[in-house]
Structure 1
Amino acid sequence: MLPLLLVVGLLALLLGAWAGLRAVRDQPMVGSQVPAIGVVELALVVQTVVVAVGMSNGATSADPMLLWGYLVTQLVLLPVAFAWAFVERTRWSSVVLAVVCVVVVVLQVRIWQIWLG
């Protein structure tokens, strides 16, 4: 599970840095960031499936409800940020995307802590 958490966190950090750089330059999100959002979202879906399979095979966590709450939340965040960025064609679209990526990284840390118990 740890390698997957690290990959997801690294992908989110890279996307967040890219969005943060565009925000500093006062530029909105661009279409070339959409595939990157898709890659991070796909990694999040894979992570959720891995956790589901692990839990169905007997793995436990300290607080399963909180774990699933974090997993579902992180699945929803990037599509919402994308929708916001699609409508908001100012630098704030990049700011929102950067903030969401930071939140995804923080959720990765929390998921790891909960998974370990």
Structure 2
Amino acid sequence: MLDAVLITVSVTALLLAAWCGFAAYRDQPTNDWHFIAMAVVTAAALVQLVIAIVQLARGERPQHGMAVFLPYLLGAAVTIPAAAFMSLAERTRWGSAIVAAGGVVLAVLELRLNEIWGAGHG
């Protein structure tokens, strides 16, 4: 896994979480700008997914096993889209809170992906 991509996904996810958390604090639902930001974070996670697939196809393997790595990788790719759909169903401040929680969850998944792949492994 490329550290730059992992850091990019983590930072954008945390920025999204902070922004949507602030919207929830201000009693605001998600808006179009939030969805644009969710698309950016999702795009970064999809880039990570593609890079990981390429690395796996080249024969590189996570230090702690494929059976653990692949579900985390797929989970990271779908976390923000799932939060986006849930926020559409909940058009109150809680929709923003859901996306904020999704951003935090994605950042934690990124930390775990780094551990599973093996720090300094690629």
5+ long unaligned stretches in structure 2: none
Is 1:42–2:39 an aligned residue pair? Answer: no
Partner residue, 1:25: 26
Is 1:91–2:93 an aligned residue pair? Answer: yes
Q: CA deviation at 1:56?
A: 1.1
Q: How many residues align?
A: 117
Further displaced range: 97-106 or 62-71: 62-71
5+ long unaligned stretches in structure 1: none
Alpha-carbon distance in 2 for matches of 1:39, 1:15? 10
Further displaced range: 44-53 or 75-84: 75-84
Write the letter of the residue equivalent to 1:116. G
Alpha-carbon distance in 2 for matches of 1:57, 1:9? 25
TM-score normalised per structure 2: 0.91
Further displaced range: 23-32 or 9-18: 23-32
Write the letter of the residue equivalent to 1:65. A
Partner residue, 1:51: 52
Displacement over 4 Å in runs of 4+: none
Aligned residue for 1:29, secondary structure, equals coil
Identity of aligned residues (%): 36
Root mean square deviation of aligned Cα: 1.1
Q: CA deviation at 1:107?
A: 0.4
Higher helix share: 1
For residues 72-91 of structure 1, what are the structure 2 equivalents within 5 Å? 72-91=74-93
Alpha-carbon distance in 2 for matches of 1:51, 1:89? 35
Partner residue, 1:2: 3
TM-score normalised per structure 1: 0.95
- For 1:78-114, what per-residue CA distance to the aligned partner results, in whole angstroms no more than 9, with x for missing partners? 1111111112111100110000100000000000000
